[in-house]
C-alpha cells in the first residue's frame, strides 16, 4: 500500500481510470439539440463529404475563417454527414479531417456560450455536444481522426470520441483541453473520455492546467495512436502536401481497421494497470483527490471555481460511473458558464485576440532589420525576442563587457529553449546567427527600426537619437523603450518626430507578453502600424496608448503603489499587504512587487509622477521613504535587500522583512485615522480602488483607447487579477456604484487622492451604462 501511495503522489494531479460502460448512451435523456431536419441537410457550408472507394472522408472547413471552430451552424451539418455515412451500406469507415492546413479544430465557438441567457441553456448546449459525440462513438463503422495543427477544447473532444487518432509529428500539431483558462470545464465528454484513454494523472494535468501537448507527447500518453511525419517542399506547399499525405494514410488505416472489424483494445502497461487497481480503493482515491484539491486551492487561493469543479466532475465519474459522470459534466459546465469568473476570463480571451491584430493596417515598409541600443537586461531581452521571430538584429552597447553580458543572456535563453525542447540545437544556432553584437554604428544605415533601451535620462536619449538619425535611412523608425519619460519630450530631439514612438516592454522581456506602444501628437499612423507589426511578430499582445505622464501601465501602477507607502506608514506589515493583495487575486503581493520592480526605479518614477499627476500619485511620505531606502542600498531583489531580505534557499512567504526597512519606516510612522481598521478587506480596497479609478480616468482622458486595451494592459502588464477580467470588466461585473462608495469612504478620510473620476461616477449614477455590451 505504501508503494502504491508513493507512486501516485509523485504526480501533481492524480485520480484514476475507468472502463467505459456502453449503457450510458441508451440511458441518455431526450434533449433539444438540433432544430434542422437532418434529412433536409444537403447544402453544407462547414462540412464536405466525399468518398474514396469505400471510405467516407468528412472534411471540416468553415468558410471565411482561418481556423475551424465548433458552432451551432456546424453541428447539424456534422450530424447529417455522420447519419448519411452510417446509412450507406457501401461505406465501411470514416476519416475525419480538416480542410485547412491551419489546424484540425481550434475549439468550440465561445459565442455559443455567450448567447445563452440561462444556466439551463448552457446545460442543453453541453448535452447537445455529448449526444452528437456519443452517436459518433457508438458508430459500428470505424471513425479515424486525422489531426494536423491545433486540436483543442471541443476539437479534442471530437477526436476523443473517434475510434483512432492519427497526428502529424510537428511543433504545430498540439492537443489540449484549455477550457479551464476560460473558467469552464470540457463540456462534451472530455472530463470522462480523457481519463479512460490516458492515465488519470495525465488527464488531470491537462484538464486542470489547460496545457497543450505536442503530437509526440500525445502519442506517448495514449491520446494519439499513430504519428506521420510532415513532408518537405514539392510542387505544392509543404503544408498542403502534408495534409494530403495525412488523408492518404488515414484512408488506408481506416480500411485496415474496417477489415479487422474495428479497433482492438490496447494492452495496458504495468504502471497503468497498477494505477487502475489502486484507484479501486476508496481510501486511496479519496486521499489522492484531497491532496490534489489542497494543491489547487493553494495555487488558486480558491478564486477560480473551474479547477475545483473539474476535480469534482472527474471524481463523480470514477465513483458513480460514466452516466453520473457525464451528467455531472453537463451540470458543472452550466454552473461555471454563468459565473463572473468565466465571464471575465472569456472577455479577456476576446481582448487578447483583439490585441493580436494590427488595427492600424499594413505598414508601407516592412521592418526586416532592427537595431537595439543597449545590451542590458531589457535590451538583450528585446534582441532575444526579435531574433527568435526571424528579425536580423544588431545589438549595440558602449562597452565590450556590456555587450558580452547581453550576448550571454540571449545565448542562455536559447540554451534553455533547447533544454525545454522548444526548438532543436540546429534551430537555436540558426536563431543566434541572426544576431550581430557590436560596439560601433556599423551597418546602422541599413536598418528599418532602432529600439533604444538606454538609461532613463532624457539627455542620454536625445544624444543617441541624434547620433542614429545622422546615419539611418529616412524611413527608419526610432522607438524608445521607456517606462515613464514622455515620448513627446524624446521626440523634441528628433529631426523627424513623425518617426519617433515609444515601445514599452516589460521585464523579463522573454516572458512578459505585453507591449505598450506609446504615440505622441506627431507620430505618423504608418509609424504606429510598423511598431505594432513588430510587436505582434515578436509574439507580444499589443496595446496602443497616447503619451502622458506614466503612459497607462506605469501611471496606474504608480498611483496604486503610492497607497502602499501610506499603508507602510500606518504600520501595516509587508506580509499582511502581500497576503491581502494575493487573496484579492494579484499573482504577486504588492510589497514583493516593489522589490521586483526595483526600489531605485520606483523612486525615480515616483519623483516624476508625483509632480505630474499630483494627489493621486502622491503619498504622505512615500518619496522620502523611497529616498532613504535607496540611500541605504535597499533597492530590492537585485541588491539582496529591499522590503525583504533575499537569502539563498529562502523563498516566498519564508522571506524575512528587512530590519533596515523597519528602521526607515519607523521614522515616518503615523497612526491610522479614526474609523480605519487595516484589515484584509480594507487593505485590498485601498489598493484596488485607486488602481481601478486611475484606469478609468485614463480612458476618460483618452490615454487608453478603449476598455479592451485597458484591461489587457492591466492584466498582462501589471498582474491585475485575471478572474476579475481587468479593471473595466470588473466595474461592469462588481458594480460601479459599489466601487464609488468605497472610494468616497476613503476620500472622506484621506482626501482627494481617492476622489472618484467623473466617468466612474457617471457609470455609478446609471446602472445601465457598461464598458462592455452584454
The per-residue pLDDT for range 659-710, each reduced to its tens digit, is 999 999 999 999 999 889 999 999 999 999 999 999 999 999 999 999 999 9
Q: Check residue 258 and give its pLDDT.
A: 95
Q: Which residue has the higher pLDDT, 148 or 2?
A: 148
pLDDT surpassing 60 at residue 479: yes
What confidence category does residue 653 fall into, taking pLDDT thresholds of 50, 70 and 90?
A: confident
Annotation says 312 is catalytic: no
**Average model confidence (pLDDT) for the chain?**
91
pLDDT surpassing 90 at residue 200: no
pLDDT surpassing 60 at residue 575: yes
Q: Check residue 274 and give its pLDDT.
A: 78
pLDDT surpassing 90 at residue 120: yes
pTM: 0.91
Q: Check residue 2 and give its pLDDT.
A: 32
Domains and CATH numbers, the chain: 2-338 (3.90.226.10), 369-546 (3.40.50.720), 553-765 (1.10.1040.50)
pLDDT surpassing 50 at residue 257: yes
Residues in the chain: 774
pLDDT surpassing 60 at residue 22: no
Q: Are strands 477-480 and 449-452 parallel, antiparallel or unpaired?
A: parallel
Q: Taking a C-beta distance cutoff of 8 angstroms, is the pair 195, 15 a contact?
A: yes
Q: If you average pLDDT over residues 548-562, what whole number do you get?
A: 93
Q: Check residue 11 and give its pLDDT.
A: 33
Q: What is the SS3 assignment for 422?
A: coil
Q: Of 157, 452, 469, 516, which residue is the catalytic one?
A: 516
The percent of residues above 90 in pLDDT, for the chain, comes to 81
What confidence category does residue 658 fall into, taking pLDDT thresholds of 50, 70 and 90?
A: very high
pLDDT surpassing 60 at residue 60: yes
DSSP string, 23-75: HHHHTPPP-----S-GGG----SSEEEEEETTEEEEEE--TT-SS--B-TTHH
Specify burial of residue 117 (Cβ count, 10 A radius: 0-12, 13-18, 19+).
exposed
The per-residue pLDDT for range 226-255, each reduced to its tens digit, is 999 999 877 778 899 999 999 999 999 999
Q: DSSP class of residue 225?
A: S
Q: Check residue 17 and give its pLDDT.
A: 27
pLDDT surpassing 70 at residue 472: yes
pLDDT surpassing 50 at residue 57: yes
Q: DSSP class of residue 567?
A: H
What confidence category does residue 270 fall into, taking pLDDT thresholds of 50, 70 and 90?
A: confident
Q: Are strands 435-438 and 449-452 parallel, antiparallel or unpaired?
A: unpaired
pLDDT surpassing 60 at residue 35: no
pLDDT surpassing 70 at residue 40: no
Q: Are strands 369-373 and 174-176 parallel, antiparallel or unpaired?
A: unpaired
Among 160, 156, 162, residue whose Cα is nearest residue 141: 162
- Alpha-carbon span 318 to 20, nearest angstrom: 10
Q: Check residue 440 and give its pLDDT.
A: 95
Q: If you average pLDDT over residues 39-54, what whole number do you get?
A: 80
Q: If you average pLDDT over residues 588-615, what whole number do you get?
A: 90
Q: Check residue 20 and give its pLDDT.
A: 29
What confidence category does residue 128 fall into, taking pLDDT thresholds of 50, 70 and 90?
A: very high
Question: How crowded is residue 371: how many other Cβ atoms within 10 Å of its Cβ?
Answer: 27
Q: Check residue 774 and give its pLDDT.
A: 65
Among 535, 522, 533, 512, residue whose Cα is nearest residue 491: 522
Amino acid at each position: 500500500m505504501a508503494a502504491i501511495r508513493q507512486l501516485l503522489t509523485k504526480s501533481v494531479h492524480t485520480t484514476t481510470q475507468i472502463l467505459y460502460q456502453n449503457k450510458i448512451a441508451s440511458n441518455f435523456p431526450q434533449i433539444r439539440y438540433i432544430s434542422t431536419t437532418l434529412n433536409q441537410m444537403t447544402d453544407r457550408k462547414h462540412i464536405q463529404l466525399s468518398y474514396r472507394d469505400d471510405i467516407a472522408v468528412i472534411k471540416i472547413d468553415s468558410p471565411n475563417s482561418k481556423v475551424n471552430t465548433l458552432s451551432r451552424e456546424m453541428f447539424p451539418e456534422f450530424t447529417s454527414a455522420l447519419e448519411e455515412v452510417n446509412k450507406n451500406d457501401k461505406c465501411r469507415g470514416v476519416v475525419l479531417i480538416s480542410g485547412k492546413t491551419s489546424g484540425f479544430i481550434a475549439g468550440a465557438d465561445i459565442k455559443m456560450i455567450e448567447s445563452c441567457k440561462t444556466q439551463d441553456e448552457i446545460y442543453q448546449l453541453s448535452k447537445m455536444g455529448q449526444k452528437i459525440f456519443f452517436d459518433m462513438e457508438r458508430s459500428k463503422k470505424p471513425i479515424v481522426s486525422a489531426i494536423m495543427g491545433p486540436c483543442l477544447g471541443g476539437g479534442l473532444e471530437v477526436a476523443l470520441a473517434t475510434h483512432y487518432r492519427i497526428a502529424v509529428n510537428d511543433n504545430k500539431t498540439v492537443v489540449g483541453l484549455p477550457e479551464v483558462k476560460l473558467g469552464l470545464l470540457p463540456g462534451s465528454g472530455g472530463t470522462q473520455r480523457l481519463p479512460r484513454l490516458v492515465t488519470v494523472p495525465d488527464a488531470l494535468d491537462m484538464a486542470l492546467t489547460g496545457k497543450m501537448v505536442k503530437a509526440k507527447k500525445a502519442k506517448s500518453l495514449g491520446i494519439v495512436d499513430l504519428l506521420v511525419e510532415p513532408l518537405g517542399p514539392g510542387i505544392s506547399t509543404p503544408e498542403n502536401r502534408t495534409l494530403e499525405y495525412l488523408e492518404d494514410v488515414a484512408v488506408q488505416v481506416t480500411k485496415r481497421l474496417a477489415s479487422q472489424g474495428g479497433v482492438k483494445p490496447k494492452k495496458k502497461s504495468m504502471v497503468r494497470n497498477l494505477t487502475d487497481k489502486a484507484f479501486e480503493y476508496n481510501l486511496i482515491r479519496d486521499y489522492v483527490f484531497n491532496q490534489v484539491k489542497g494543491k489547487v486551492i493553494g495555487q488558486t487561493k480558491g478564486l477560480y471555481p473551474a479547477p475545483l469543479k473539474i476535480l469534482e466532475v472527474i471524481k463523480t465519474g470514477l465513483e458513480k460511473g460514466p452516466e453520473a459522470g457525464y451528467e455531472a459534466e453537463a451540470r458543472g459546465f452550466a454552473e461555471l458558464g454563468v459565473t463572473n469568473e468565466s465571464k471575465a476570463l472569456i472577455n479577456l480571451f476576446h481582448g487578447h485576440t483583439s490585441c493580436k491584430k494590427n488595427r492600424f493596417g499594413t505598414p508601407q515598409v516592412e521592418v526586416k532589420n532592427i537595431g537595439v541600443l543597449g545590451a542590458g537586461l531589457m535590451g538583450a531581452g528585446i534582441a532575444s525576442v526579435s531574433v527568435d521571430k526571424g528579425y536580423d538584429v544588431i545589438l549595440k552597447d558602449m562597452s565590450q563587457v556590456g555587450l558580452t553580458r547581453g550576448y550571454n543572456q540571449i545565448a542562455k535563453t536559447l540554451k534553455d529553449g533547447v533544454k525545454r525542447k522548444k526548438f532543436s540545437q540546429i534551430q537555436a544556432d540558426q536563431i543566434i546567427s541572426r544576431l550581430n553584437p557590436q560596439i560601433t554604428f556599423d551597418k546602422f544605415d541599413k536598418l528599418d527600426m532602432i529600439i533604444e533601451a538606454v538609461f532613463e535620462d532624457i539627455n542620454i536619449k536625445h544624444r543617441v537619437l541624434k547620433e542614429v538619425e545622422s546615419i539611418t535611412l529616412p524611413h527608419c523608425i526610432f522607438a524608445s523603450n521607456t517606462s515613464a519619460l514622455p515620448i513627446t519630450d524624446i521626440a523634441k530631439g528628433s529631426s523627424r518626430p513623425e518617426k519617433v514612438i515609444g515601445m514599452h516592454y516589460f521585464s523579463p522581456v522573454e516572458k512578459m507578453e505585453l507591449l505598450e506602444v506609446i504615440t505622441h501628437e506627431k507620430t505618423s499612423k504608418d509609424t504606429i502600424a510598423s511598431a505594432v507589426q513588430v510587436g505582434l511578430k515578436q509574439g507580444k499582445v499589443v496595446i496602443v496608448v497616447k503619451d502622458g505622464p506614466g503612459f497607462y501601465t506605469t501611471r496606474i501602477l504608480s498611483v496604486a503603489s503610492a497607497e502602499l507607502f501610506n499603508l507602510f506608514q500606518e504600520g501595516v506589515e509587508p506580509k499582511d499587504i502581500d497576503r491581502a493583495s494575493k487573496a484579492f487575486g494579484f499573482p504577486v503581493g504588492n510589497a514583493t512587487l516593489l522589490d521586483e520592480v526595483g526600489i531605485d526605479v520606483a523612486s525615480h518614477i515616483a519623483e516624476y509622477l508625483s509632480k505630474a499627476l499630483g494627489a493621486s500619485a502622491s503619498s504622505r511620505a512615500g518619496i522620502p521613504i523611497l529616498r532613504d531606502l535607496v540611500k541605504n542600498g535597499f533597492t530590492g531583489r537585485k541588491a539582496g535587500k529591499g522590503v525583504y531580505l533575499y537569502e539563498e534557499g529562502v523563498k516566498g512567504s519564508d522571506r524575512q522583512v528587512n530590519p533596515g526597512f523597519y528602521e526607515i519606516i519607523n521614522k515616518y510612522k503615523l497612526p491610522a485615522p479614526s474609523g480605519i481598521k487595516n484589515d484584509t478587506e480594507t487593505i485590498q480596497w485601498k489598493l484596488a480602488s485607486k488602481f481601478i479609478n486611475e484606469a478609468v480616468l485614463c480612458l476618460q482622458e483618452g490615454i487608453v483607447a478603449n476598455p479592451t486595451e485597458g484591461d489587457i494592459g492591466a492584466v498582462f502588464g501589471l498582474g491585475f487579477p485575471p478572474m476579475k477580467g481587468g479593471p473595466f470588466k470588473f466595474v461592469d461585473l462588481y458594480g460601479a456604484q459599489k466601487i464609488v462608495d468605497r472610494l468616497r469612504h476613503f476620500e472622506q478620510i484621506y482626501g482627494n487622492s481617492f476622489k472618484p473620476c467623473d466617468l466612474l461616477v457617471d457609470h455609478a449614477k446609471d446602472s445601465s451604462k457598461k464598458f462592455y455590451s452584454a
